[in-house]
C-alpha cells in the first residue's frame, strides 16, 4: 500500500509540472481528484486493509491527499494570475484599432439635404408639436367634420379633440396664425398614420412641407421652385412632370413625378411630392385676407425621397437599426 501511494504521488508530481493551461489543469483534477480518480481509489483500497494496518495508512492517506490538494490549488491560483496578466498585457508595437465614430441617420441626412436646398431659396425652417388638435390638423385645412377627404388618412386619435398629426401641415396653420405675410418656410417633422406596415408604408414617417404666402404669388413660381429642387436633389438631367390632383387645402393641386429607371430594370414615373395654390378658405380660416394674398404649398415624404435617391427598396430598413445598412451612409 505504501509503495502504491508513493507511485501515485510521483506520477502526480510529474503531471503537475506539465500543467500550463486551464484545460490541462482540469484534466489533472479529473485524473486524481474525481470520484474515480487515482487518489480517490486509494481510499477504496484502504477499506480492504487488515484492521491493524488501517491507523497507519489512514493517516498517511489523509496527509498525502491534503498535500496534493494544496499543491493543486496553488497551481490553479498561479495559472489564473498568469492568464490575467496576459490579458492585461498591451503590445505597444501593434497598430492601433480604428475607433468607429457614429454618424447621422440616413433620414436625418436626407432632411438636412432637402432643407439646405430650400434654405438657399430663402425658406426658413419651423417645427411644431407632434400631438395636435383636430382643428389645426383638419378643420383649418378645409377638412370639415364630414369631409370624405378625412378618410384618406387613417388617424391615431388621442381623444375627441387631439390626435397624432397626420402631416406637418398644422405647422403651416400655426405659422399663419402667428405671423403676417410674407411667409416663406418649410416644416420638417415626424407624422403618424394608422397604416399596415409593409415594404412601402409605415405607421411613422417623416415629411417636409413648404409654404409661401405673399401678394401676386403664382403657380408658375411654384413650378419653378419645385423644378429647381428636383434638379438639385436628383441631378440636372432628371425628367419630371406635373399631374393635376386634389388636396382639400390647395386649389388647383398637382403631384410631381420623376422618371425612375433602376439599373437593369424598366423605367417608370414615380410620385415625389404634392403641391398646389393655397385654398382661399384656408387663408380665411387663419385670418389672412385671401383677396390680398395668395400662396402655394407643397409636401413630400422624406422616406420616399431617400428610397428614390439611394435606390433602397424597403422603407422598414430605415427603422430596423441594422448596423450593416446604416454604415453604408
The cell numbers describing 307, all together, are 428610397
Contacts 24+ apart (CB under 8 A), 151-159: 153/193, 154/193, 154/194, 154/195, 155/193, 155/194, 156/192, 156/193, 156/194, 158/131
150 pLDDT more than 70: no
Q: What is the pLDDT of residue 91?
A: 67
Residue 210: the pLDDT is: 96
Confidence (pLDDT) at 153: 60
* Residue 57: predicted pLDDT: 64
User: Is the distance from CB of 209 to CB of 273 less than 8 angstroms?
Assistant: no
pTM beyond 0.75, yes or no? no
The phi, psi pair for 70, rounded to 5°, reads -65, -40
Position 1 scores a pLDDT of 66
* pLDDT attached to residue 68: 79
* pLDDT of 152 strictly over 70: no
Over residues 103-138, the pLDDT tens digits come to 889 999 999 999 999 999 999 999 999 999 988 988
Mean pLDDT of 52-80: 76
Q: How far apart are CA 244 and CA 276, in angstroms?
A: 9
Does the domain at 106-326 match CATH 3.40.50.720? Answer given as: no
| Percentage of the chain modeled with pLDDT above 90 | 40
Query: pLDDT value at position 87?
Result: 55
- Separation CA 149–CA 246 (nearest Å): 10
For 261-274, the pLDDT digits (tens) are: 767 778 888 888 99
Per residue in 265-311, pLDDT tens? 788 888 889 999 999 999 999 999 999 999 999 999 999 888 888 88
* pLDDT tens sequence across 154-188: 788 888 889 899 899 999 999 999 999 999 999 99
Rounded mean pLDDT, 206-234: 95
Task: Give, in degrees to the nearest 5, the angle at Cα 157 between 156 and 159.
Answer: 160
Position 225 pLDDT exceeds 70:
yes
For the chain, the average pLDDT equals 85
What pLDDT, on a 0 to 100 scale, did the predictor assign at position 325?
A: 86
Amino acid at each position: 500500500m505504501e509503495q502504491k501511494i508513493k507511485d501515485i504521488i510521483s506520477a502526480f508530481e510529474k503531471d503537475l509540472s506539465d500543467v500550463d493551461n486551464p484545460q490541462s489543469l482540469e484534466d489533472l483534477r479529473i485524473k486524481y481528484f474525481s470520484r474515480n480518480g487515482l487518489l480517490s481509489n486509494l481510499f477504496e483500497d484502504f477499506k480492504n486493509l487488515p484492521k491493524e494496518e488501517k491507523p497507519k495508512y489512514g493517516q498517511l492517506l489523509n496527509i498525502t491527499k491534503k498535500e496534493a490538494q494544496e499543491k493543486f490549488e496553488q497551481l490553479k491560483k498561479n495559472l489564473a494570475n498568469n492568464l490575467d496578466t496576459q490579458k492585461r498585457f498591451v503590445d505597444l508595437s501593434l497598430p492601433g484599432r480604428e475607433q468607429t465614430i457614429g454618424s447621422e441617420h440616413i433620414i436625418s441626412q436626407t432632411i438636412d439635404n432637402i432643407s439646405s436646398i430650400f434654405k438657399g431659396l430663402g425658406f426658413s425652417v419651423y417645427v411644431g408639436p407632434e400631438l395636435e388638435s383636430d382643428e389645426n390638423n383638419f378643420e383649418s385645412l378645409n377638412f370639415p367634420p364630414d369631409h370624405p377627404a378625412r378618410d384618406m388618412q387613417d388617424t391615431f386619435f388621442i381623444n375627441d379633440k387631439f390626435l397624432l398629426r397626420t402631416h406637418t401641415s398644422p405647422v403651416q396653420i400655426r405659422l399663419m396664425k402667428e405671423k403676417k405675410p410674407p411667409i416663406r418656410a418649410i416644416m420638417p417633422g415626424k407624422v403618424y398614420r394608422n397604416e399596415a406596415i409593409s415594404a412601402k408604408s409605415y405607421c411613422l414617417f417623416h415629411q417636409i412641407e413648404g409654404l409661401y404666402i405673399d401678394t401676386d404669388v403664382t403657380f408658375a413660381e411654384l413650378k419653378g421652385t419645385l423644378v429647381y429642387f428636383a434638379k438639385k436633389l436628383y441631378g440636372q438631367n432628371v425628367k419630371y412632370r406635373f399631374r393635376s390632383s386634389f388636396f382639400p387645402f390647395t386649389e388647383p393641386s398637382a403631384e410631381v413625378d420623376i422618371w425612375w429607371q433602376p439599373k437593369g430594370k424598366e423605367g417608370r414615373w414615380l410620385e415625389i411630392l404634392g403641391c398646389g395654390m393655397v385654398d382661399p378658405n384656408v387663408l380665411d380660416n387663419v385670418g389672412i385676407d385671401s383677396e390680398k394674398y395668395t400662396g402655394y404649398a407643397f409636401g413630400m415624404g422624406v422616406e420616399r425621397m431617400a428610397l428614390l435617391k439611394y435606390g433602397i427598396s424597403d422603407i422598414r430598413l430605415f427603422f430596423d437599426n441594422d448596423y450593416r445598412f446604416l454604415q453604408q451612409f
